[in-house]
Amino acid sequence: MKNSRGPGRKKGSAAGKSFCDLPSRAGKKVPGDNRSAFYRHRGDMRWTGVIDEPYKTAAGGWAGIVRRVLVGNRGESSRFHVRYFEIAPSGRSSLEWHRHEHVVICIRGRGAVKFGRKKRIMDFMDTVYIAPGEVHQLVNPYDRPFGFLCIVNARRDRPKVLSRKRGPEG
């Protein structure tokens, strides 16, 4: 049988261990620390090591929404971010537009997406591509949470929040 530690590696040394055997660095990621990571799903759309974050810092016509960043704020070098958003019953995202594109994939409940002049109901695994410059909003008119993954460019402009009556607010 061949030596599973590889040539020149001694039993018991760090050099003889795979990365799976080394001490965990969980919870110790810092900006610029680009390492692979695993976030275990704990149920109820929560992941170990992923915290709830504010949807936006200022009011803008949105209500009942939580954000959880899965990939994108722990020093990764990816050119995309993956976020989970959950909109409570009767909640909504801000009505907004921006110069970057993004993809929304429904993974919990159902909700509605407004983009341009269209409105579509989203069910499990329905996917929408929102083009740059498209006015859009996600809403939950139902009695259960509407959860979705949002995949977006890592480098992106800030959204311009709109009001149906007054136009751009930001």
The DSSP string of the chain is ---TT-TTPPTTSGGGS-TTTSPP-TT---TT--------EEETTEETT---B-S-SS-SS-EEEEEEEEESSSS---SEEEEEEEEEEEEEPPPEE-SS-EEEEEEES-EEEEETTEEEEE-TT-EEEE-TT--EEEE--SSS-EEEEEEEESS-PPPEEEETTTEE--
Catalytic-residue membership of 150: yes
Q: Which residue is catalytic, options 50, 150, 152, 162? A: 150
Residues tagged active-site:
150
